[in-house]
Amino acid sequence: MNNKNQQNKLVRDKRTTYDDSDCSELVETYSNELSIFDQKIVDQVRKYLGDQRGSTSKFSFIKQNGIIGVAYHPDKEETLDVCRAYLYQIKNRHIEVGYIQKLALHQFKSETEVLSYYLKLSTRLQNTVPAEQLYGNVTLEIKIVKGQIKHVKAVTTYYSDSNYKTVRDWQEWYSVIFLGEKFDL
């Protein structure tokens, strides 16, 4: 690989801290759009739960061993600013229930860009054995391929051993984070 190609690869393949310092302003600017975004996700989840999945679904439910999540595939008219504001908003909803932000990344690889947060439960909630894990560790991300937003995703990964309490139900997580329903720990 020649020197110019190596430099281009370094520019395209990089990983930096995701700077979300403007996102609180975006949340205020796009508050109406964020309410609509929430409603779109709620509608898609209701369709999924009602087993009305079809080729037009904008929602994916992710369930594997130790992983549960949701991905919303926005319409082409959804802007990156609205998606960034939404990701920031659901990050803050996790923080309200006891999570802390461990990492915020902005990654570029070839024609793909990913903005993401990694959240863990606050250690003050994990001071017993078995430890509370609430919904598990949380990854929130926006994936953009060739300038097109592919998904806004929220995924939890949890432990299933005797050191941790059983993870709470994904529908509770969905209700708390996406519907804003309060609960007691």
How wide is the angle at C-alpha 82 spanned by C-alphas 39 and 142, nearest 5°?
95
Mode of pairing for the β-strands spanning 59-64 and 14-17? unpaired
Beta bridge partners of 2: none
Query: What pLDDT is stored for residue 10 in this prediction?
Result: 45
Please compute the mean of the pLDDT values over residues 119-131 and round it to a whole number. 82
**Domain coordinates of the chain in residue numbers?**
17-178
Closest C-alpha among 123, 140, 141 to residue 132: 123
Cβ burial 30-51 (10 Å sphere, 16+ → b, else e): beebbeebbebbeebbebeeee
Please compute the mean of the pLDDT values over residues 2-12 and round it to a whole number. 47
Does residue 181 carry a pLDDT above 70? no
Q: What is the pTM of this model?
A: 0.82
Query: What pLDDT is stored for residue 53 in this prediction?
Result: 54
Does residue 5 carry a pLDDT above 50? no
Retrieve residue 48's tokens: 């999924």
